[in-house]
Structure 1
Amino acid sequence: MLGFDAGTARKVWTAFLLALLFFIIYIASTTVLVVVFAVFFSYLIYPMVALVERVRPRRVPRVASIAFVFVVVVALIAVVGSVFGVELQSQATRLVTQLPALLRTDVPDRLPLPHFLEPLRERIIDFVRSQIETGSDKAVPLARSLGLGVVHAASNLIYLVLIPILSFLLIKDGENMREAFLALLNRPHRMLWSEIIDDLNVLLSKYVRALLFLSLATLLCYGVAFSLLGLPYAFLLAVSAGLLEFVPFAGPLAAVAITLVVAVFSGYPHLLWLVIFIGLYRLFQDYVLNPYLMSEGVEVSPFLVIVGLLAGDQLGGVAGIFLAVPVIATLKIVIGRARVFYAASHEQGEAARCALTGQTDDET
């Protein structure tokens, strides 16, 4: 009755360590998030580092080539921000300034609603307008809250500096860190985790670069189409859609909703053409471009994606939504590899026992 089962103890100890690990990650969520963004940034930069490595003279150290790539990328980001940031800020300021006035006009009367909501149109419009009028009384508290938010964000600018620094160190010492981790494991588990790390490397490289290409494609296509269609605030809406593309599932839906709301309340006359374009583009991206870029390694069940997005929103807000899909895909890889590994180990153990039993019977 008081016997000690070593196998059960190991399982309990493993479960305790996993729970402790998740607790530590939750407590140090900000640090973990910075590291995760650094990893993602590393995967974006690494193809350029590999390209420079091919033409690097032997006498030039590898650190110099990595530093050169980082300097070029940071300078490019700064130039793009300085060139387009002014126009982006101008359109955002103009939209915030003009939207309350637009909402007080007859534009909301032309807002398309489902048939079953038509009897409630006047109540809905009155409610929206009352909220706008009430909001004008709260302008000062809102401005104060916004100012505090800006100060809080400015205090966290150190993380924006840490992300490229950590990315530089990851690219520089990534292989040594991998070997040091694998050296801590015994031979069978070393093979298992080596395969898991290789799969995760492929997964994250495809996922991060696919998100970048999808974001750039959305920014370019929306920007060109919105400009040709004469949509107000075209550049602002295109940039917003491109950034929201990094948030799986919920981001593109939010971008479509924001675009249509701004178009309606701005009195845009070609709303039908806008809806047709957005519908055709989403079909192309969701069923052609996205599967081609993501490939099979990043496929996750839609049910798990929705559940993961809801859980990520509760645990980490926007950051949790952003990380939901890669975390689920990572767990899928780890569980799949572990299941194959332990199934193979069990089969080998059974075969060894059968061979030993057969040898004993022959000797008898």
Structure 2
Amino acid sequence: MLGFDVGTARKVWTAFLIALLFFIIYIASTTVLVIVFAVFFSYLIYPMVQLVERVRPRRVPRVASIALVFVVVVAVIAVVGSLFGVQLQDQATRLLTQLPTLMRSDVPNRLPLPHFLEPLRERIADFVRSQIETGSDNAVPMARSLGLGVVHAASNLIYLVLIPILSFLLIKDGAQMRDAFLALLSKRHRVLWSEIVDDVNVLLSKYVRALLFLSLATLFCYGIAFSLFGVPYSFLLAVGAGLLEFVPFAGPLAAIAVTLVVALFSGFPHLLWLVIFFALYRMFQDYVLNPYLMSEGVEVSPFLVIVGLLAGDQLGGVAGIFLAVPVIATLKIVLGRAKVFYSASHEQGEAARRALTGHTDEEG
């Protein structure tokens, strides 16, 4: 009637709601990031909650066991921070203080070059020296700006308090929230979204725990290797590399680049051994440890990872980069489940239509 198609209108309305949702997420990026950290923290804590609940007496409420786990975890984090925070701050302060001197050092003349490039060493050294002089003028303001950003984020202590509180509520009321969401849907779509929610739950649990183990493995392996090699600022670089493991693909590459630059400008004499260590460790992690920790549903193609990181950086900065891979993997699950669901519905409809047609023909 009047050229109005109900099916098209529903699709347009759905697309509008999805666009509105992404717009709201973009506007409230800080709040979304806090919620995301709370969700990730919940997935890290939940296995310990399950372990405590196995031995929890029936007369003890479930809330008490969850609270016990959170108190222990927060206490452990506080103790570890107090033990290693001073050393980390000391190395970071020394690096920022010596940064201008390191940037103006005579590194270009000590660059290892292939034999056929030796005649061009002076030209290469002049080019690198000019780049160092340009970069040294921007290094201190950049470091100062980065430091102010970190201080500003740390000053918002309310977020640090909200993350464990939100995680506690998510673990306590997660099942009720899931059931309430499914109750809003029709009976037909409830089956589809129940499967999607379960798959996303498994995906995020495996993904978050895999990232945690990869980060810890990088922290320990880099820390031991850097200490044995005598790399300057070894603890600071190892902690930074461990944290950057939470940024897929780009994070490990950035950690390697920063470590090599700091080692080179600090006069580290065994740069080749450091490169060999990085190559061996990345092979071990990419072909042994990562496939073991990441399930098939978590894996995303490198092309999509790069595109997702670029798009995430443009849309949400650090939060967008952090969320790129889990969002892509979630969309992969949603599209896959929806395709199977609607294909099965279409086949059932066709089978019912053929059965009805055959029954009518027999009556005729």
TM-score by length of 1: 0.94
CA distance in 1, matches of 2:317, 2:138: 25
Pairing 1:1-364 to 2, within 5 Å after superposition: 2-112=2-112, 118=121, 119-132=123-136, 134=137, 149=149, 152-364=152-364
Question: CA-to-partner distance for each residue in 1:10-54, whole Å, 9 max, x for gaps?
Answer: 112211211221121111221111111111110000000000000
CA distance in 1, matches of 2:146, 2:256: 25
Equivalent position SS for 1:296: coil
CA distance in 1, matches of 2:143, 2:347: 65
Letter in 1 for 2:63: V
The alpha carbon displacement at 1:155 in A equals 4.4
Question: CA-to-partner distance for each residue in 1:215-268, whole Å, 9 max, x for gaps?
Answer: 000000000111111111111111010011111110000000011001101111
The alpha carbon displacement at 1:154 in A equals 4.2
Letter in 2 for 1:85: G
Letter in 1 for 2:129: I
Instruction: Report the CA distance shift for 1:59/1:329 in structure 2 as closer, same or farther (over 3 A).
Output: same
CA distance in 1, matches of 2:63, 2:253: 42
Letter in 2 for 1:30: T
The alpha carbon displacement at 1:329 in A equals 0.1
Equivalent position SS for 1:360: helix
Letter in 1 for 2:103: L
Question: Does the 8 Å contact 1:108/1:265 carry over to 2?
Answer: no
Letter in 1 for 2:130: D
CA distance in 2, matches of 1:135, 1:12: 49
The alpha carbon displacement at 1:323 in A equals 0.7
CA distance in 2, matches of 1:216, 1:256: 16
Letter in 1 for 2:125: R
CA distance in 2, matches of 1:203, 1:355: 40
Instruction: Report the CA distance shift for 1:108/1:29 in structure 2 as closer, same or farther (over 3 A).
Output: same
- Select between 295-304 and 237-246 the one with higher mean Cα deviation: 295-304
- Select between 230-239 and 119-128 the one with higher mean Cα deviation: 119-128
Q: Percent sequence identity over matched residues?
A: 81
CA distance in 1, matches of 2:173, 2:107: 58
TM-score by length of 2: 0.94
Letter in 2 for 1:124: V
Instruction: Report the CA distance shift for 1:49/1:344 in structure 2 as closer, same or farther (over 3 A).
Output: same
Letter in 2 for 1:349: G
Instruction: Report the CA distance shift for 1:58/1:347 in structure 2 as closer, same or farther (over 3 A).
Output: same
Question: Does the 8 Å contact 1:109/1:125 carry over to 2?
Answer: no
Equivalent position SS for 1:297: coil
- Select between 321-330 and 117-126 the one with higher mean Cα deviation: 117-126
Question: Does the 8 Å contact 2:29/2:319 carry over to 1?
Answer: no
Equivalent position SS for 1:4: coil
Question: Does the 8 Å contact 1:215/1:246 carry over to 2?
Answer: yes
Letter in 2 for 1:105: S
CA distance in 1, matches of 2:334, 2:106: 56
Gaps of 5+ in 1: none
Letter in 2 for 1:227: S
